[in-house]
Chain A
């Protein structure tokens, strides 16, 4: 027997998020707001306001990305010499000192990944809004990648925090976190939330619509 490709949504049904009761949604009011008759929790056939939320968080993250890169992320004072470093100036410093691998790690973790993540999310949402039918499987993979990589962009913030805690040698050398670190953490958190708010099922919904 051939497997039937059927979704709850097609049947006008949704599962409750808290008690997992499978509920029927009133067919005439598919766009309304529903709640579970058993436990009273809100019912959604797809993540609620997925696109709106995702866009909002994405825009916020993109705005914060600017101060995160322009403001110093670490303020190092060694032997009375104070130096403020932004992410890019750190990368440039490592390149100049010939430490390519470290420069590459910092660049990938702090510049490349956040920017690519933002671009992927933007692309995914754009494709969903436009009901694209282009390679849904690959797009889902992209989404999984952004979700997976999300928390690892925090590496910078962890490094800065650990350095601040470790290097406190009084007048000889201290490292302080600059405001850039706060904004960078904000970018990472917001992109993680954005990835979380995106509902990958929306990619497949577009395929179903096309089949109908």
Chain B
């Protein structure tokens, strides 16, 4: 059969198709519906998870790259840098970053940002991962404070982030020494904290050092705690040998602080944030008692102060209550009178004050007397004949000290002031007194029977020599007996 034949066949010659009921909805429309659902879900997710855009001001964009640099907290990515541009004043760069929406409550004024780069110092090595992965921006989220969207980035990674438990303390020191930020703080030679900041105090007279002590070691700190500078090596040589005291090799290079809380008679209290601990120069100084109140007095001597040095003790009843600070020589050109003013420092807390058999605090005693419109204790005592006197402390070296004593016969004086220092009246030591002291010593030396001692020694040596000769003779005879030649 050919084509034309088929065409000429009547339609009835072919088999008839069967008829079935028509289908309604075409299932194929499910595909775009699914696609729409997926697309819609993605769009919804993108919109709802669209976090806030923040701007961070950094001094430099070194290592930062738009679209690549991440913002991380505890190594979890919580944002990404979208754009980096120069600030209007050209004093830095503005980094625009898209944050996760969960970070919203943490974007407050207190929150800090910094760039994490590889950092190698004597104390620690950190951020090595960034050598391979490139820098990232670290975040210290803090919920307190006003919410904001623009931040100023820190130049350096903060040593202590808000999530780290612990406590800050303030130390006061006359100078910073070799301490620096990140210098370690040791407790029994274990690093428990670090220096986080330092600055001048308000007056500029001292340095305030802020340290952070990690929990739980911050519990060891109370009012009795002593801090001292543990930089360098303390070498001490005494009868028992050489003692080297150091905290760690790191502290030698980098400086460091150590603290200890010794057992003490004083009551132990918790310290407040504003409490400033003194930073002692070394462990020995720290273990000494320190006194907060220092009173300065001016003393005038009209006799030679040869042998008096700064630091010479000021004693009362044989107990040191202060020391000499400074002195100089003044000659009055008119009268050609020579005067030697000596500045002394007295720590009145070294004296225990009792009132009617009850111990009182120095400070409260002052307040008590001030209330009753009474004179200060010192003024009262001065009126009652308290006087200072130069005394010889060491006859061989001629060192002097200042002895304070009560001279009931002395004429009462009113307290005068010079250069804001109260003048402490003195009594001159009669020259004869010193001469007497010296003659006493000379007499004692004289009374040593040197000649007799010499004779005795001579006799002893002669006897000893005879004994030895005799012994040698015996030894030789016994050798001959055993080994005849």
Contact = CB atoms under 8 A, between A and B. Distances in A.
B132 interface: yes
B17 A25 contact: yes
Given A60-B34, A67-B39, A67-B42, A80 B132 contact: yes
Interface in A63-110: 63-64, 66-67, 71, 79-83
B372 interface: no
A13 B14 contact: yes
Contacts of B23: 33
Contacts of B471: none
A186 B38 CA distance: 12
A118 B16 CA distance: 39
A155 interface: no
Contacts of A66: 39
A14 B16 CA distance: 10
Interface residues of A, number: 45
Contacts of A37: 15-18
B474 interface: no
Contacts, number: 103
A23 B26 contact: no
Contacts of A59: 32, 35
Contacts of B39: 63-64, 66-67
A183 B38 CA distance: 10
Interface core residue of B14, B21, B28, B42 (most chain A CB under 10 Å) = B28
A103 B132 CA distance: 27
B482 to A, nearest CB: 86
A192 B15 CA distance: 35
A26 B19 CA distance: 8
Interface stretch (A49-57, A126-134, A140-148, A204-212): A49-57
Interface of A: 1, 4, 6, 11-14, 21-26, 29, 32-38, 42-43, 49, 52-53, 56-57, 59-61, 63-64, 66-67, 71, 79-83, 183, 186, 190, 197
B17 A60 contact: no
A122 B12 CA distance: 40
Nearest to B13: A24
Given A1-B4, A63-B38, A82-B133, 15 more contacts: A4-B4, A23-B14, A23-B15, A24-B15, A24-B16, A25-B17, A33-B23, A37-B16, A53-B28, A57-B28, A60-B32, A60-B34, A60-B35, A63-B36, A81-B68
